[in-house]
Amino acid sequence: MDIYALYITIGLFTGILSGIFGIGGGMIIVPIMLATGHSFEESIGISILQMALSSFVGSVLNFKKKSLDFSLGLLIGAGGLIGASFSGFVLKIVSSKILMVIFALLVVYSMIQFVLKPKKKDFIADTRRYHLQGLKLFLIGALTGFFAITLGIGGGMLMVPLMHYFLGYDSKKCVALGLFFILFSSISGAFSLMYHHIINKEVLLAGAIVGLGSVMGVSIGIKWIMGLLNEKMHKILILGVYGLSLLIILYKLFF
């Protein structure tokens, strides 16, 4: 298969997953890019570039469907913007093996949090509750943006279970917010990687081609498939994606 056709196919599949699960798709793209001869840093750059494209289209579609709360999205996106801005610096000083171990631990933690029921909220005044919710969203965004973009993923895989557990949001609301967050964190991360000369012309071209496929895929995921899934089935499928991602990263670590 022609390499560009392969990139389009990868992007299409990843985009569908992004639309359904609110993930950036880095856990799929990074290993495949490594297999095609790119370095770990280049693979992260390609992954982040396609995330920016697919998350923008996905967020527009979610907003039109009224499944995205724009005000909450801005809070979590602002946190992601700040956290992701440090990604290029971290990639320059921390080895890829250490980053993969951190990622594996974060995936396990995310799976556990997603399985647990959301915390029950005590009644507090509306104003205080609003500010606490906003602070939690901002902190979740900042921490996720820092770790996720450094590892070449959008952060939706980490963020969806955290919002579900700590804020009690249903999975579909979490997915819409997660995808909107990825828009902010991926753009910030891309500029950080460009500044540190990790994204070059070759990476930029590959990222654009994969991104083109992901734009088509995210439309399919949001418009067609999401409407067919109920809450329980959606959660089961998300857990399946977590499990697959963990297996892939463990394979990359030990084989």
Instruction: Please give the pLDDT value at position 127.
Output: 55
Top-confidence range, 70-84, 102-116, 231-245: 70-84
Sequence letter at residue 181: F
Q: What is the DSSP letter of 117?
A: P
Distance CA 61, CA 130 (A): 26
At 226, is the pLDDT very low, low, confident or very high (cuts 50, 70, 90)?
Answer: low
Enumerate residues 6+ apart whose C-beta is below 8 A from 202: 42
Q: Which of 214, 225, 139 is nearest to 183 (CA)?
A: 214
Q: Mean pLDDT, the chain, as a whole number?
A: 80
Distance CA 84, CA 154 (A): 10
Q: How many CA atoms lie within 13 A of 133 on its CB side?
A: 19
Sequence letter at residue 192: S
At 123, is the pLDDT very low, low, confident or very high (cuts 50, 70, 90)?
Answer: very low
At 124, is the pLDDT very low, low, confident or very high (cuts 50, 70, 90)?
Answer: very low
Q: State the SS3 of 82-94.
A: HHHCCHHHHHHHC
Confidence (pTM): 0.74
Tokens for 228? 């067919």
Tokens for 115? 């399985």
The mean pLDDT of 219-239, rounded to a whole number, is 74
The mean pLDDT of 99-127, rounded to a whole number, is 66
The answer, yes or no, to whether residue 225 has pLDDT greater than 70, is no
What does the CA dihedral 29, 75, 21, 253 come to, rounded to 10 degrees?
Answer: 40
Angle formed at CA 81 by CA 190 and CA 245, multiple of 5 degrees: 70
Distance CA 15, CA 220 (A): 8
Distance CA 12, CA 18 (A): 10
The answer, yes or no, to whether residue 125 has pLDDT greater than 60, is no
Q: What is the pLDDT of residues 80-98, one digit of tens each?
A: 888 888 877 887 788 877 8
The answer, yes or no, to whether residue 207 has pLDDT greater than 90, is yes
Sequence letter at residue 60: V
Q: What is the pLDDT of residues 12-62, one digit of tens each?
A: 988 888 777 767 777 778 878 888 888 888 988 999 899 889 889 889 988
Top-confidence range, 7-21, 123-137, 143-157, 197-211: 197-211
Q: Report the Cα–Cα distance between both ends of the chain, in Å, rounded.
A: 25
Who wins on pLDDT, 97 or 210? 210
Instruction: Answer for the pair 26, 65: CB distance below 8 angstroms, yes or no.
Output: no
Range from 13-27, 133-147, 150-164 carrying the lowest mean pLDDT: 150-164
Instruction: Please give the pLDDT value at position 119.
Output: 54
Distance CA 55, CA 17 (A): 11
CB atoms within 10 A of CB 176: 25
Enumerate residues 6+ apart whose C-beta is below 8 A from 231: 170, 171, 172
Instruction: Please give the pLDDT value at position 9.
Output: 92
